Structure 1
Amino acid sequence: MITLQESLSPSEFGNKAASLSRLIQYGENVPNGFVIHKDWFEAFQQGRLNIAHFKEALENALKSLNAVTLMVRSSAIGEDSDENSFAGQLESYRSAPDVTSVYENTLRCWKSYSSQSVKAYENTSGHHLKGMAVVVQEMVDPDFAGVVFTRSPLADNELLVEYVTGHGEKLVNGDVQPESKTYVRQDYQVNCTDSGAFKSLVDICVRLEVSFGVPLDIEFAVKDGIVYVLQARPITTEGKGVTVHWSNTNVNENYPSAISPLLYSIARDSYYHYFKNLSKLFQIPQQRIQRLESSFANVIGVFGGGMYYNMSSIYNIFYSSPFAKQLLGSFNNFVGHQDESLNDQKVPLVEKFTFVRSVIKHNWKLEREVTLFENRVQGYVFKSEQAISLDELKMAFHEFIEIRMHSWYKASLADFFAMLHHGLLGKLCSKFYGKEAYGIHNQLIQSIPNLVSTKPVLLIHEILKTTRKDGVLYSDFRDMEPDHFWNIYGSKSKEFKAIELIHSYLENWGFRCSGELMFTADNFSDNPLAFIQLLKQYDEINEHDPALQIAATADEAKQIRQRFIKKIWTKYGIVFPVALFFHGLLNLSIRNAMRGISSRERARLKQAQLYYQFKKVIRKIGGELQKRNLLADSNDLLFLSYIEITELMEYSSILPEANLDLIALRKRNYQQECEKPFPDEFFTVNGQIAGSQNEDESNSETDLIQGMSACGGKVTARARVIESISEAYKLKKGDILVTRQTDPGWIVVFPLISGLIVERGGMLSHGAIVSREFGIPSIVGVPSATARIKDGQLIQLDADTGTIKFIDD
């Protein structure tokens, strides 16, 4: 007989006892008890039970319990399994705490093993019990008790609680009509406005579902406000289907238009490795990582040609980590996703310590890891640029896949620490500034030193300065069309310094364009005429020196920091050590946040360069395979997965004759799929094909729109609603740019605008970061902004409060 505090094997003690043991290890309140090994039952079945010996062992075990009443409960091998619960088929009995009573009730449990109801259940289900252990526990005399279905049988997006006053047998036996509470849930977030025992109960049930990895049927009792977990078993009956939450928030910054089958195959597998490798890096327990396999494999999906995050999978992954609530809060802020707060969870202290230790270790190594990633990409660019033969191109192809799938963890650390440190700084700001924290938070991280994202604007300014110094060149630049100008001057780098600078820009920065990760989009390197047109647009506005703008925002950030420090010392100056601690913590938090964001932007720059180089490799491979009559068109590779391309290059396809037909079929279906409309956020039922859905655009008549402040300030100007960067020519100096999302390609228009409003994006989206560098008031995460704000409309953008107001002309 073994105490429930021990780790118990289901094959020796049954699932019920093993589950109770597991609950105790998770830190839940479980009534004290012990379990009688299945060997005693086998001896009873075979008529060889030594009753005196058994009672002696029982007497010794009972000494550890201290209750007026006990519960003697069956724990059969095979009961409460993932496939079958055998609920109600095996018996449990109240018992006095003496040896004789417990012995008699144990015999009753053993005898229920052979009851007619159990045999009937076995015959119907096709599953058979394989022995029985018995659990003996102290009985709680509850104020109320009941059962929780973490996924309601009626609706998968609800958590259902049924309860009665007193003991739960009345509910189980159907003697009374129970009270019930239903809580709407989204993934692992439950909208619970109750306090006290019910709030605790909901939190416990959600974290247990995560720990067990499946929806649960949880029996509970509440005494004096304390929740006791009596049993937790998998829900084995099929409900309405698991609801999946899809969102294109943030992901559309990298993939702003319809993605090809090739790009989707790379993205899908790379996200699998991205999250799995991060989980390993931060030493999430291996058993928990294994349970997340389905979530890792389903981080993204494609609807109407657009990429979407599977938020349900992402939340599952986050919830497996210590400090899940804090991390998910930072993630939501990071990507601009508005959501309710995550329920708290209990995590063993050793797991928290291990996680924190890993965070400290990898934070210390961040600079080195990002530098290694940059060097790896630079090496790839050099080698792949030299690739000519199909064998050389194959090597370049496979090296890209290896980097993207298995070496990306170095870049993913930059994402993680940008998110983490930005969130931690926000917490500190909230402590001292409350509701005003957003504005202060953003101003503290303005003007990050040497941020790579601002270099294109600085270089463009330098190109124009140099062009203006040459009278003849500048005159032709202003008067000629871009194609005419480039035909004449494009090959004259040695004669004109400005042309040399343009070529240098195109080589080193030309890949930084809107849709820079898309294999179907041209960039400035592909189309230099677009860059010449952009330069002409800049020249017309006679822009100010962006370096001076950045220096001004740096001064502002310095002043904000000084005011923050003064606020700390005003509040805690009387307690010198506390004030000194928060002063140091502020400086450390700002430094870490800036370093995290800077590292992430460096990684994203190299990501864009890597993808552009791979796009060139793909084009070369397509040409080679077309020559061999394996493709009808060199661009047809975009309609195969990267694994299918590997098989095509190696002549190892399972149906080689079918490749041309397969590509033709996909091209037809692709066009049809891309025409289907899907909103930014929607829900599907797992296992069912998602039908197209129209965007639910707000037609609210209110003259006030709310979003998240990304960079403080107030401006009143004309709104310029722009669908893509290709419409940048519509912008006039001082306009407020309104768009669905921004990506690194949009940086070149920032000197033209006085304010920024973005439908999709978070505090660390590219637009938010760059707007802070130039001190441009900006609001992100504004639902339906491009529908509610009309092009040319006069608006007031108040980025200090995150509000947009319509102004009557």
Structure 2
Amino acid sequence: MKLVAPLRSFGRGDLALAGGKGANLGELIGHGFPVPDGFVVTTDAYAQVAAGLSTRDSVQRAAVPDELRREIIRAYAELGAGGAPVAVRSSATAEDLPGAAFAGQQDTYLNVVGEDALIDAVRRCWASLWTDRAVAYRDRLAIDHAAVRIAVVVQRMVEAESAGVMFTANPVTGHRGQLVVDASSGLGEAVVSGLVTPDHYVLEPSGEVTAYTPGRREVVIRSTAGGGVIHDETGAPAERLPDQVLRELARLGTEVAAHFGRPQDIEWTYAGGEVSLVQARPMTALPPPPLKRLNPIQRRLGSILIEYVPVRPYPIDMSTWLPYGPAGLMRKVTGYFGVHGAFDSFLEEQDGVVYRLVPPTPHPTPRVLTTPFRLAAKARRYDPARWLDDPRMHTFLETNRELTALDLPALPWPELLRVPRRALDTVQPVADLRIDYLPGTGRALLRLLLVVKLLGRGALFSGLIAGGRTRTADANEALEELAEEARRTGSLDGVTFKAKLKAFLAEYGHRETATPLLVTPPTWADAPETVLDLVRLLAAKPPTPATPGDEALDKLLAHPLLRRSEERVTRWVRAARAGVAFREDSHFYFTMPLPVLRGSLLEMGRRLRDAGTLDAPEDVFHLRLEELERLADSDAGAHLRALVTARAAKREELAGVRLIDPRSVFPVKELGDALVVGAPASAGIATGPVRIVRDPSEFGKLGGGDVLVCPYTNPSWTPLFQRAAAVVVDAGGSASHAAIVAREYGIPAVMGTGEATATLTDGQMVTVDGDAGRVTAAP
């Protein structure tokens, strides 16, 4: 067993023996970087002392064997005569990894002087592996406690004049061409622990300062003569780092990042005219690099994709519903009509996890030259009003019924493995239906739009196309019936209510709660509490009275030029409504296989959990379908555990990182006196308290008359619009689902604000101007 060894004898491959910090520092020393000399008390030493112990107190009280004590003291003596002051830092095997920095989870002791103090500091570093915060952090990342060991790095103490932290990429913007330095007087612990507001520098790789914000130096941490440190709260005068120091930091940071092949989080010190590096670890939770300026088409597609991908997809999404579901179908449709790349490769992955969203740049192919002729032919042949009578639709529904009837828990493993592909194959003919019936939809809508524009009645268009019957409207009516039953009995537990709820979920339970593009978010049937929240919301007030008659159509037919064309214009309006209904209802029907697909994947997850491969059925989402399909049976997946753990850690690292900066899609506009500004999407002005609803689990927060502020919407959010005074959305445009529904309900809407959910706060009184696209403060 190697108990103690010089720091320079380790490299990046020695994680298991030296821990993350020790391995990285040894790697830097070996390649000539300025790192204070030191040694490592290895994980073998920890294992020898702490065998069978797993509490902080027990490890801290453990006896240090004589041989180990002698080796530590010998290595300490080699650093300098007379009890040299040293820094003693924990270095766990689970820290400083991509996806799990463990920053601040284990302890560091500065200015340790003397043999007894050193042995005690080493023991306290070991014990810090078992602090409540460290245990909780490992639990959150699903890291096995028994598999984690800890080493201790002992380095010559640098009495820093200034010290701090350097990021070799901008941690806020993700810009890889910038370095960010935080610095303050004294030891760097003041900066690392957040005790001080540091000087803040943004540097070019050359060391040129592009931004500087002076700190406040609320406290300076200094070493004391007999060991330990003091916190001097008298502060220190503001003193900017010399230019040569900034240039040296930029040079070192750039070279360290290049050496490790990824952006680094570096702790540094400056003393006696020299810069030293005392820690380097991979940056975690780093946003994607900023996108280059998007062209108008990319911004348009980006506004759609942000709304349809509101959460980070899992690997199982990327290999199932995302390429074969609605996005894949639209890729086929656009490709048929001569446009390539409209829905291709817009999600980039890193370490097997979706990293960022990049709006694609579609381009025409030679096939586009014949598109007008094919559009015209299909518009003549395929009437959207009759699409449900198409034999292909009957086949689709029959195949889906067969899938729904499967008893998934009873299926043998080989048959269960085939279910996802069967579900994905079921929806493939849908692309042909879209290709055939969308041209008729487009023709009907364009014809009506031209008519109302020529007649000077353009404002009626939204009302005219909103009158069609859709499955979404059917679902809303069924929700109102549930709400009426709840009002009548004052309960959601009655026998009649439960029977109606069961029937509702049988008919509409396949509807998505978050997005139709992913399989991992639950459906209404998977999360009936979402439906119950909607019912409570609707039951809290009397039902919204239906609008009498067809007001928009009556106004249009009253135009003097249409006195002899009422029948024809009415027919055109009905055709446009049928087209809108096709667009809405095709989505409703084509998501029907989602529950079977999701259910089969979770059944695989349950079996893998029972076999000990996964900790929970939902962990199967971290795998790709092809990885599952290679398993002969559920007991053959033990090798997948490490893969799931690594991807889960990477996903956890990215939990607070956006897939795309909304400002790249929705350029920042002049605010003036507005709180947020976006695209006007539904006319009118309304005032009310803000209610932020980030996902379907928060539907119950919305009250009547609230201003609904949300990151995205989809058809399952429609009932909220019946109670909201106005709607403000981070994503989307005037043609998005939220905008269309807001116009149907006659409430103001502002879309594409970018950051309304981050800027506005619950209960804040605001006025929403849907005509101007502005949200302002209200009394």
Name the SS for the 1:358 alignment partner: helix
Distance 2:303 2:567 in 1: 35
Q: Does 1:384 align with 2:406?
A: yes
* Alpha carbons 1:759, 1:785 under 8 Å: kept: yes
By how many angstroms is 1:249 displaced? 2.0
Distance 2:472 2:356 in 1: 24
Q: Does 1:461 align with 2:476?
A: no
Instruction: Decide which moves more: 298-307 or 377-386.
Output: 298-307
Q: Show the counterpart of 2:711.
A: 740
Q: Show the counterpart of 1:441.
A: 461
Match of 1:316 among 363, 367, 376: 363
2:394 alignment partner AA: L
Distance 1:723 1:420 in 2: 37
* Alpha carbons 2:679, 2:751 under 8 Å: kept: yes
Does the C-alpha gap of structure 1 residues 667 and 699 become closer, same or farther in structure 2, counting only changes over 3 Å?
Answer: farther
Name the SS for the 1:737 alignment partner: strand
Does the C-alpha gap of structure 1 residues 599 and 757 become closer, same or farther in structure 2, counting only changes over 3 Å?
Answer: same
Distance 2:482 2:725 in 1: 23
TM-superposition CA deviations, 1:504-529 (whole Å, max 9, x none): 12332234352154444344433444
Does the C-alpha gap of structure 1 residues 586 and 558 become closer, same or farther in structure 2, counting only changes over 3 Å?
Answer: closer
Distance 1:464 1:320 in 2: 54
Distance 1:498 1:710 in 2: 37
Name the SS for the 1:311 alignment partner: coil
Does the C-alpha gap of structure 1 residues 379 and 806 become closer, same or farther in structure 2, counting only changes over 3 Å?
Answer: same
Name the SS for the 2:725 alignment partner: strand
Q: Does 1:259 align with 2:282?
A: no
Does the C-alpha gap of structure 1 residues 638 and 458 become closer, same or farther in structure 2, counting only changes over 3 Å?
Answer: same
Distance 2:683 2:292 in 1: 44
Match of 1:722 among 689, 693, 706: 693
1:504 alignment partner AA: A
Gaps of 5+ in 1: 1-239, 323-346, 478-484, 490-495, 574-578, 684-692
Q: Show the counterpart of 1:525.
A: 525
Name the SS for the 2:654 alignment partner: helix
Distance 1:376 1:709 in 2: 43
Does the C-alpha gap of structure 1 residues 469 and 719 become closer, same or farther in structure 2, counting only changes over 3 Å?
Answer: closer
By how many angstroms is 1:444 displaced? 1.6
Distance 1:538 1:617 in 2: 33
* Alpha carbons 1:715, 1:777 under 8 Å: kept: yes
* Alpha carbons 2:728, 2:749 under 8 Å: kept: yes
Distance 1:533 1:651 in 2: 37
Q: Show the counterpart of 2:419.
A: 396
Q: Show the counterpart of 1:555.
A: 550
Higher relative contact order (CA 8 A, sep 6+): 1
Q: Show the counterpart of 1:366.
A: 387
Distance 1:522 1:766 in 2: 20
Distance 1:680 1:627 in 2: 40
Match of 1:298 among 322, 326, 345: 345
Name the SS for the 2:690 alignment partner: strand
By how many angstroms is 1:677 displaced? 3.2
Q: Does 1:637 align with 2:620?
A: yes
* Alpha carbons 1:513, 1:524 under 8 Å: kept: yes
Q: What are the within-5 Å matches in structure 2 for residues 494-513 of structure 1? A: 496-513=495-512
Q: Does 1:616 align with 2:615?
A: no
More helix by share: 1
By how many angstroms is 1:712 displaced? 4.0
By how many angstroms is 1:355 displaced? 3.7
Distance 2:355 2:452 in 1: 36
TM-superposition CA deviations, 1:20-52 (whole Å, max 9, x none): xxxxxxxxxxxxxxxxxxxxxxxxxxxxxxxxx
By how many angstroms is 1:268 displaced? 4.9
2:707 alignment partner AA: I
By how many angstroms is 1:415 displaced? 6.2
Distance 1:640 1:714 in 2: 48
By how many angstroms is 1:596 displaced? 1.9
Q: Does 1:543 align with 2:542?
A: yes
Does the C-alpha gap of structure 1 residues 361 and 797 become closer, same or farther in structure 2, counting only changes over 3 Å?
Answer: same
Q: What are the within-5 Å matches in structure 2 for residues 584-663 of structure 1? A: 586-587=569-570, 589-628=572-611, 631=614, 633-648=616-631, 658-663=639-644
By how many angstroms is 1:618 displaced? 0.9
By how many angstroms is 1:732 displaced? 2.3
Q: What are the within-5 Å matches in structure 2 for residues 561-600 of structure 1? A: 561-563=556-558, 565-566=559-560, 568-569=561-562, 586-587=569-570, 589-600=572-583
Q: Does 1:768 align with 2:739?
A: yes
Q: Show the counterpart of 2:649.
A: 668
* Alpha carbons 1:747, 1:770 under 8 Å: kept: yes
Q: CA RMSD in A?
A: 4.1
Does the C-alpha gap of structure 1 residues 400 and 558 become closer, same or farther in structure 2, counting only changes over 3 Å?
Answer: same
Distance 2:750 2:542 in 1: 23
By how many angstroms is 1:742 displaced? 0.8
Using the size of structure 1 for normalisation, the TM-score is 0.51
Match of 1:278 among 333, 340, 359: 333
Q: Does 1:806 align with 2:769?
A: no
* Alpha carbons 1:721, 1:786 under 8 Å: kept: yes
Distance 1:388 1:280 in 2: 40
Distance 1:429 1:306 in 2: 45
* Alpha carbons 1:384, 1:617 under 8 Å: kept: no
Distance 2:704 2:766 in 1: 16
* Alpha carbons 1:759, 1:784 under 8 Å: kept: yes
Does the C-alpha gap of structure 1 residues 399 and 714 become closer, same or farther in structure 2, counting only changes over 3 Å?
Answer: same
By how many angstroms is 1:595 displaced? 1.3
Distance 1:696 1:763 in 2: 16
Q: What are the within-5 Å matches in structure 2 for residues 8-23 of structure 1? A: none
Q: What are the within-5 Å matches in structure 2 for residues 82-121 of structure 1? A: none
Distance 1:384 1:507 in 2: 15
* Alpha carbons 1:445, 1:772 under 8 Å: kept: no
Q: Show the counterpart of 1:22.
A: none
Match of 1:410 among 433, 439, 442: 433
* Alpha carbons 2:675, 2:777 under 8 Å: kept: no
